[in-house]
Amino acid sequence: MRHKAENSVSKNKILLEAFKLFASKPFEKVTFADLEKATGLSRGAILYHIQTKENLFEMVLENLIFKRSTIVSNDNIVGLWNHIEDFIQERIKEQEDFSSSSIANVNKAFFNIECSAFSCSDKMADFATSWVEKELANWIKLLNNAIEAKEIKSDIDVVAYAHIFMNIFMGASYIGVGLPNGYDIENMKKQYRYLYDQIKI
């Protein structure tokens, strides 16, 4: 049991350090020597967990990129605005967690890895399409739930508003790539609030 836990810790450490490396340089320039130095593990220990660098990159994509979501309908949270506030808190925590791991700009980190992924991974194009479809569906569901609960107006174009809500995060994330510490989450929250106030009852 202890051995299994230690393996899990080592694998998570490899994934985090690999994420940082892939975020700072293109895939082809990351070496096993870089991984050994960053993780403090031997090459044999690293290979035990990941087999190949290509496999490691796929693991980073699947565990730290593909699973990332902007907003999810949660049955334990009541109301559209409460979902947005919960999402904002998750983004703040994410930013703090990455900052504590020496990643000052989470948007730039994700952007760099995603750019590498489009040229190195056959899965990235399909993921990008399905991710947008999933995010849009989440926003549509939240908006329809808010209409049913009489939280927001019923005569809005739900799909159009779903796109706008989703694009607030997408736009802020893209702009954040060029800022020292990534996106301004408080400003993003103000944009959500402004849009929400246009449709609330």
Residue 194 sits in a domain whose CATH number is: 1.10.357
Residue 114 and residue 185 in contact, taking contact as beta carbons nearer than 8 Å: no
Confidence band of 70 (pLDDT split at 50, 70, 90): low
Q: Does the structure show a pLDDT above 90 at 175?
A: yes
Can you tell me the distance from the alpha carbon of 113 to that of 70, in angstroms, rounded to the nearest whole number?
Answer: 18
Confidence band of 8 (pLDDT split at 50, 70, 90): low
Residue 92 and residue 155 in contact, taking contact as beta carbons nearer than 8 Å: no
CATH number, domain containing residue 27: 1.10.10.60
Predicted pLDDT at 7: 54
Predicted pLDDT at 119: 85
Are residues 21 and 102 located together in one domain of the fold? no
Are residues 106 and 30 located together in one domain of the fold? no
The alpha carbon of 9 is separated from its chain's Cα centroid by a whole number of angstroms, namely 21
Q: Does the structure show a pLDDT above 50 at 57?
A: yes
Can you tell me the distance from the alpha carbon of 102 to that of 170, in angstroms, rounded to the nearest whole number?
Answer: 23
* pLDDT per residue as tens digits for the range 135-174: 999 999 999 999 999 999 999 999 999 999 999 999 999 9
Point out the least confidently predicted range of 65-74, 80-89, 130-139, 171-180: 65-74
Q: Please tell me which of 1-5, 25-29, 76-80, 153-157 the model is most confident about, judged by mean pLDDT.
A: 153-157
| 197 CB burial (10 A radius; 0-12, 13-18, 19+) | exposed
Mean of the per-residue pLDDT values of the chain: 87
Are residues 116 and 186 located together in one domain of the fold? yes
Residue that is last in its domain, among 14, 34, 63 = 63
Tell me which residue has tokens 């739900």: 158
Residue that is last in its domain, among 28, 63, 98 = 63
- For the chain, the first-to-last Cα distance in angstroms comes to 54
pLDDT over 90 percentage in the chain: 45
The number of helix segments (H) and strand segments (E) in the chain equals 9, 0
Which domain, by its residues, includes 41? 2-63
Predicted pLDDT at 9: 59
Are residues 111 and 13 located together in one domain of the fold? no
* pLDDT per residue as tens digits for the range 85-133: 999 999 999 888 888 888 889 999 999 989 888 888 777 888 888 888 9
| 19 CB burial (10 A radius; 0-12, 13-18, 19+) | buried
| Residue 134 token pair | 């999933």
Are residues 43 and 76 located together in one domain of the fold? no
Are residues 174 and 85 located together in one domain of the fold? yes
Task: Determine which helix (DSSP H) or strand (DSSP E) holds 186, and give its type and residue range.
Answer: helix 185-199
Other Cβ atoms within 10 Å of 194 Cβ, number? 10
